[in-house]
Chain A
Amino acid sequence: EDQVTQSPEALRLQEGESSSLNCSYTVSGLRGLFWYRQDPGKGPEFLFTLYSAGEEKEKERLKATLTKKESFLHITAPKPEDSATYLCAVQETTGNQFYFGTGTSLTVIP
């Protein structure tokens, strides 16, 4: 059973066209939910940690939100430089299990 499911797998946006990426998770207890950005040929780069439902974090054009079953990464007025794969990961309260989703590949067209 998948612990983390991201959708859509790929997303193409026009520059300035806002949208949201989804991360659904199934864990017995959530210690934290993490968003990363990954550029081609590079390792994932940490963006946000969310700990509890209702929490929000913002960074430039990105805002991450969390509910009890999913997280959204909202991208406002994206620019071509926002093109990347966005990965979601969850950590359980039991043990140190840490599960990554397979990511959403975002392309922003000028």
Chain B
Amino acid sequence: DAGVIQSPRHEVTEMGQEVTLRCKPISGHDYLFWYRQTMMRGLELLIYFNNNVPIDDSGMPEDRFSAKMPNASFSTLKIQPSEPRDSAVYFCASSFVVGGASGYTFGSGTRLTVV
């Protein structure tokens, strides 16, 4: 398996523009997670899905952020409009269960810079 695949690896955009981050989870994993990582706050859970259904979006910072999972093999995280404080590394992770003996498998992340 190729693991969790995220695209793009790097994104530089101007403030006010729409940004879409993409994730392909590992086949067969029922859970998909979106995290944001910054130096100040570390890894923060934004939202997670179970069987394509959003279960907990309490970590989504505000209405500018939205996430979808139209099918078991694809998810998007959208920021509209983007702001400089959204600059961070965004990770997607997937797993068979929440937590669990095998933990989560993370993608390589998307480094977002909003100027």
Q: Which A residues have a C-beta under 8 Å from some C-beta of B?
A: 31-32, 34, 36, 41-47, 49, 87, 89, 91, 95-96, 98, 100-103
17 further A-B contacts with Cβ under 8 Å, apart from A32-B100, A45-B106, A95-B56, are A41-B109, A42-B108, A43-B91, A43-B93, A43-B109, A44-B43, A44-B104, A49-B100, A87-B43, A89-B43, A96-B55, A96-B56, A96-B98, A100-B42, A100-B44, A101-B42, A102-B41
- B106 is contacted by which of A31, A41, A44 (Cβ under 8 Å)? A44
Interface footprint category on B: 20 to 34
Q: Does B25 contact A (CB under 8 A)?
A: no
A42 touching B109 by the CB < 8 A rule? yes
CB distance from B98 to the nearest CB of A (A): 5
Does the CB pair B108–A98 fall under 8 Å?
no
Interface of A is mostly: strand
Which residues of A sit under 8 angstroms from B26, Cβ to Cβ? none
- A96: which B residues are within 8 A, CB to CB? 48, 55-56, 98-99
B105 at the interface (CB under 8 A from A): yes
- Report yes or no: A98 in contact with B4, Cβ–Cβ below 8 A: no
Given A43-B91, A96-B55, A98-B98, A34 contacting B103 (CB threshold 8 A): yes
Report the minimum CB–CB distance from B18 to chain A (whole Å).
24
Give the shortest distance, in Å, between A56 (CB) and chain B (any CB).
15
Q: Which B residue's beta carbon lies closest to that of A103?
A: B42
List the A side residues contacting B108 at CB < 8 Å. Answer: 41-43
Once the chains bind, are A91 and B98 in contact (CB under 8 Å)?
A: yes
Q: Which B89-115 residues sit within 8 Å CB-CB of chain A?
A: 91, 93, 98-109
Tell me whether A98 and B106 are in contact in the complex, defined as CB-CB below 8 angstroms, given that A44-B43, A103-B42 are known contacts.
Answer: no
Instruction: Select which of A43, A45, A91 is within 8 A of B99 by beta carbon.
Output: A91
**A34 and B105 form a contact (CB under 8 A):** no
